[in-house]
Structure 1
Amino acid sequence: MFFFFVGGVEQQVRQVLKYGAGRCITCGSKADLVEYEKVLKAFFVPVWRWPGKEQLLHCNDCNLFFPPQLSADRTTTAVADQPDVLRCRFCKEAVEPEFRFCPFCGSSLS
């Protein structure tokens, strides 16, 4: 006898608390501050839901959930005064020249 189970847990937005509260760390578009819930699905049908522990930012473009601390605007005037520093084109963090991928957002630097 064989049994196949198709299911998993995913995060879904329960309530938007503030629209445009930050920037996505992956694609750079606006992200909303949300309360979320985790949903257990069995055979693509929601079976059980439970609330998330804290508020997160959610990007509607790439469907990414991330903590608000990561979305802090890192492009200050002191950063803009350093043109010779290698920066990630997505998250604008300063990156060492020997890296091939950004250690902050994971995107390719080439």
Structure 2
Amino acid sequence: MFFFFIGGVNQQVRQVLKSGVGRCIGCGSRSDLVEYEKVLNLFFIPIKRWPGKEPVMYCDDCKLFFPQSISPPPPPPSVEETRLPSVTDVLKCHYCSREVDADFRFCPFCGSAL
């Protein structure tokens, strides 16, 4: 006598608590805070369901469940943050607050180092 078990346990979203609150750790797309439940399937028929312990993050694109404690990667820096000052920028003297060309190493008005 042989017995084959064709089934398994998987997770399913029960309720979306907050939509788009984080980023997926797998693909980087938006993820939702959800309540989930575990489902026991036998021959692809749900037999038993029981709720998960605490809310988790869920990515709808790659179908990944992950805990809230894993923080998503930080967003990339904006263009303004990555821009380096150019040589043609106008400088201001720290002492007299006058505008000085970037070519000067000393303020021509008060003589202080720039």
TM-score range, shorter chain: 0.5 to 0.7
| 1:92 counterpart residue number | none
CA distance in 1, matches of 2:10, 2:17: 20
* Number of equivalenced pairs: 79
CA distance in 1, matches of 2:61, 2:31: 9
Query: Which structure 1 residue ranges, 4+ long, deviate > 4 Å from structure 2?
Result: none
Question: CA 1:27–1:13 in structure 2 vs 1: closer, same or farther (change >3 Å)?
Answer: same
Aligned amino acid, residue 64 of structure 1: L
| 1:29 counterpart residue number | 29
Cα deviations across residues 56-86 of structure 1 (Å, max 9, x unaligned)? Answer: 0000011000011213443486xx88xxxxx
Q: Could you say what secondary structure the match of 2:70 adopts?
A: helix
TM-score (norm 2): 0.63
Cα deviations across residues 5-35 of structure 1 (Å, max 9, x unaligned)? Answer: 1011000000000110110000000000000
| 1:69 counterpart residue number | 69
CA distance in 2, matches of 1:62, 1:73: 16
What is the percentage of aligned positions where both structures have the same residue?
Answer: 63
| 1:52 counterpart residue number | 52
| 2:7 counterpart residue number | 7
Is the CA contact 1:24–1:71 (under 8 Å) kept in the aligned structure 2?
no
Highest relative contact order (Cα 8 Å, sep 6+), 1 or 2? 1
Structure of higher CA gyration radius: 2
| 2:43 counterpart residue number | 43
TM-score (norm 1): 0.65
